[in-house]
Structures are given as C-alpha cells and as structure tokens.
Homo-oligomer: A and B are copies of this chain.
Amino acid sequence: MPGEPAFIQALRAIATTPAARALADDAAVLQVGGETLVLTLDTVVESVHYLPADPAADVAWKLVAVNVSDLSAKGATPLGCLYSHALGEDAWDKSFLLGLEEACGHFAIPLLGGDTVRMPDGAPRSFSLTAIGTAGKAAPVPCRSAARAGDEVWVSGTIGDAGLGLAVAAGKLPAAAGPAAALLSAYRRPSPEPRLGAALAPLVHAMMDVSDGLLVDAARIADASGVSIAIEADAVPLSPALISVAGKGLDSRMQAMTAGDDYELLFTAPAGQAAGIREAAEAVGHHVTRCGMVSQGSGLSLTHDGRPLPLPGRLGYQH
C-alpha cells in the first residue's frame, strides 16, 4: 500500500456498512431510535498539523472547530465530543484545556469523555477528537455527491482569511495590526457556525465544508456528483481584512480560492431558491454568497468577469 490513497482504499473495503458512506463524506451517518446521528473523528499531530510554538489553547480550539464544521456540513447540530489527550508539559496541557473549554462552550458541544495517554520522552504528540451530532428525525443529510446540473453553487462566510492568517503567523506578511489580528484569528480560531448546516440542509443538494481550499473542494463535489462546476472568481466573497491586506484583484482571489482552513460551507442548490437560502443563513446570523453554477459534464472550470480563466496548477491542499 504505497501511501495514504491506497490505505484509504483498503479501509473502504472494510467500512462496507451503509452508515460509513464509503468513507467518502468526512462523517458517518447512523440511524438510531428514529434519529439520524452524525459522527466524525479528526486527529492533529504536532509538527504536522500544528507547530510546537503554536498557542496550545488555539490548537485545542481548532480541533473542536474542525469537527463541528464536519457535523455542520452534514446538517447536524452537536450533541457532544470525546477526545484523546497525549500528556506533555504541564503548562502547555493546562493552556490546551482552557482552549478546549472555551471551544466546547462557544460551539455548544459538551465534553463527554475521552482518554489520556503518556508518550515516550520527546515524541511528537497527537490529539484525536470524535464529535457526535444529530440531524434530527428524517432530516435530509447532505453529501458530496448530490449536485445536479442547473444547481447554483454557494459558499458561506468569506474565503481565504485563514490562508493569509497562516502567512501572518509565519511572519511572511506585514500587515496593519487590525487586519493582521483578524486574519490570524481566522487561521487559529476558525469559527464555523454550528447551526448553519442544519438551517441549510433542507434547501441544498450537495454540501461539504471547505477545509482544503474552495477550488479543490468544489472539484471534489463535481467528481463525486458526476457534474461540471464553474466557479466565478469575481463572485467569491472576500473579507474586509483580506481586501485591506491583499486587495480584491485576481491574484488575491486565486490565493483565497486555493488556501485551506476556511471551514465554511460549500453547497449547491436549485436555481431560484436564493431568497430562501439567504434567509435561512441570516436566521442563524451568518451569510452566504452565490459563486458558481453546476452543469452537465465533468470537472471544474473558472471564470472571471464572464471570461474563462485557466485553472491554477494547485487547487488547494491535497492529501
């Protein structure tokens, strides 16, 4: 098994129960007692997913946030989480717990339990978190593969902030204090709205969260659904902080569409539903933007001001 794709293929051969959704959907969907439960698990590893110098409280916050984002993408609201903690230096662990408590409070996801383990001396540590949520009774549970020709493509919030925040964190981007703080916060403390997915689920066809970059994730929906998706670069929503630092030109937009860690929702919905979709998002204090079209065919394409644009060589973070 050379590498991760082959390994996941081998895992798929084991995870044959329908609830596993062929491991194609970032979350499992289980029917229990007439309710639809959604389960997801994410692991972060020191020096791979975060740096030893990153604030411990932010590492914990992000671990909770990415799992909440996975639940939301399935239209589920959080019921609780369990997590596994690799013990390390006391002050770091204490700070981690403060971030965990803040995040569990912020996202209304109670800590239910977990495990603590000791690591061999000097070993990089890792933290796994399982989140469980409910999509209610007979609620539709969106997946990646349900986009249809004629749908419009939507994205929530703004795109690219976390990517620039990473550059700020690495000291690569000089920026005024205000915007720099906003971008850094987007990177270190992503804040998916946990109620957004449940509000949108009845209105959408396909839905997933944008974790690896808008373009690569849109390409994944296109592939899984057997359709073509055209993203309109000029329609992609950018934040005031991003615009103040990088502008709103095409270079800035390309950067934003290929950066990871957005944890916003990308979804497709039938044309003509715009008002209802915007209302549903606003009802939970969030906003959504139409940024593309689904048509027959395959693959991803890009336009700018109505003209075709070549795809960049790298669509986002690819595992």
Contacts and interface: CB of A to CB of B under 8 A. Distances in A.
Interface in A108-147: 110-120, 123-124, 126, 128, 130, 132, 134, 137
Contact of A126 (B47, B48, B86, B130): B86
Interface string A189-233: 000000000000000000000000000000000000000000000
A17 B87 contact: no
B45 A112 contact: no
A279 interface: no
A7 to B, nearest CB: 6
B40 A113 contact: yes
Contact of A39 (B90, B132, B134): B132
A101 interface: yes
A34 interface: yes
A290 B27 CA distance: 44
Interface stretch (A8-16, A244-252, A255-263, A294-302): A8-16
Interface string A4-32: 10011011001111011101000110101
Contacts of A15: 110-113
Contacts of A97: 7, 10-11, 14
A41 B84 contact: yes
Given A33-B137, A120-B124, A126-B126, A45 B7 contact: no
Given A90-B2, A111-B11, A111-B20, A41 B128 contact: yes
Nearest to A5: B116
Given A34-B33, A87-B4, A116-B8, A80 B28 contact: yes
Contacts of A4: 87, 116, 118
A281 B17 CA distance: 29
Contacts of A39: 80, 82, 112-113, 130, 132
A4 to B, nearest CB: 6
5 tightest Cβ-Cβ pairs between the two chains A and B: A33-B33, A33-B35, A28-B112, A17-B110, A128-B128
Interface of A: 1-4, 7-8, 10-11, 14-17, 19-21, 23, 27-28, 30, 32-35, 37, 39-49, 79-80, 82-87, 90, 93-94, 97, 100-101, 104, 110-120, 123-124, 126, 128, 130, 132, 134, 137
28 contacts: A10-B97, A11-B85, A15-B112, A15-B113, A17-B111, A17-B112, A19-B80, A20-B113, A28-B82, A30-B80, A32-B33, A32-B37, A34-B34, A37-B37, A39-B80, A39-B132, A41-B114, A41-B130, A42-B115, A45-B119, A45-B123, A48-B120, A82-B130, A84-B128, A115-B128, A120-B124, A126-B126, A132-B132
Given A15-B113, A20-B110, A45-B120, 12 more contacts: A4-B118, A10-B94, A15-B111, A20-B113, A32-B33, A32-B79, A39-B112, A39-B113, A40-B82, A42-B84, A49-B117, A130-B130
